[in-house]
């Protein structure tokens, strides 16, 4: 029996290495694995929607003759907050818009307007807000000839601007530049 005990005890002796077995740490655990396929959060997008397909090159021709306000409303309805009557701000844009106007049946409304009343020089402004710092009128214009010329068209033949009575029915040119029409009427104070 003793021999058996000794044998058993002997076998237990090598049991020391068991401590070594428990030694292995879980250090092999995954360190900062870039496994997550999720890239950076592209949440910096603004509320800018693509222009409607009807806006080739950023502009749309309104062939149906309407009043200035009706034309502006038609433009605004295309992509609310981002479309309006064309705002011509540079000589290059005037040339481009005048070229587009050649396809229309007549002169076309543009996005320049003023409040009624006052005297020349009238404070014209863009429908997108701010003074119309670029307003290439014809030599004798604006003249407010009929007393209600608070709105502006581009003339097909001369390719320059003149003020025209708000109630006239002519074609128009819309623009999509993702800017809201914040001053798109001719009511004082609005």
Minimum CB distance to Ca ion smaller for 107 or for 141: 141
- The answer to whether 168 contacts Ca ion (rule: CB under 5 A) is no
Residue with the CB atom nearest Ca ion in the bound state: 163
Question: By CB under 5 A, which span of 32-40, 126-134, 141-149, 152-160 interacts with Ca ion?
Answer: 141-149
Between CA 139 and CA 9 the distance in angstroms is 118
Minimum CB distance to Ca ion smaller for 72 or for 141: 141
- The answer to whether 163 contacts Ca ion (rule: CB under 5 A) is yes
- The CB density around residue 86, as the number of other CB atoms within 10 Å, is 31
Question: Are the C-beta atoms of residues 173 and 86 closer than 8 Å to each other?
Answer: yes
Q: How far is the CB of 31 from Ca ion (least distance, A)?
A: 55
Report how far apart the first and last C-alpha atoms of the chain are (Å, whole number): 111
Between CA 142 and CA 152 the distance in angstroms is 9
Between CA 154 and CA 138 the distance in angstroms is 9
Question: By CB under 5 A, which span of 7-15, 21-29, 119-127, 163-171 interacts with Ca ion?
Answer: 163-171
- The answer to whether 162 contacts Ca ion (rule: CB under 5 A) is yes
- The answer to whether 87 contacts Ca ion (rule: CB under 5 A) is yes
Collapsing DSSP to helix, strand or coil, 107 comes out as coil
Question: Which spans of this chain sit near Ca ion (rule: CB under 5 A)?
Answer: 87, 141, 143, 145, 149, 162-163
């Amino acid at each position: 029996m003793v021999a058996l005990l000794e044998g058993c005890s002997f076998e237990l002796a090598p049991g020391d290495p068991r401590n070594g077995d428990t030694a292995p740490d879980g250090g092999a655990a995954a360190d900062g694995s870039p496994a997550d396929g999720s890239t950076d959060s592209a949440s910096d997008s603004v509320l800018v929607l693509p222009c409607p397909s009807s806006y080739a090159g950023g502009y749309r021709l309104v062939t149906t003759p309407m009043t200035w306000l009706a034309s502006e409303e038609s433009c605004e309805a295309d992509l609310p907050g981002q479309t309006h009557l064309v705002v011509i701000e540079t000589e290059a844009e005037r040339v481009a818009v005048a070229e587009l106007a050649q396809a229309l049946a007549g002169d076309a409304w543009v996005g320049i307007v003023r409040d009624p009343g006052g005297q020349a020089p009238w404070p014209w402004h863009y429908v997108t807000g701010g003074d119309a710092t670029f307003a290439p009128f014809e030599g004798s214009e604006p003249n407010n000839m009929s007393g209600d010329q608070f709105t502006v068209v581009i003339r097909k033949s001369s390719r320059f601007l003149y003020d025209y009575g708000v109630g006239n029915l002519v074609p128009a040119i819309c623009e999509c530049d993702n800017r809201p029409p914040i001053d798109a009427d001719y009511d004082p104070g609005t």
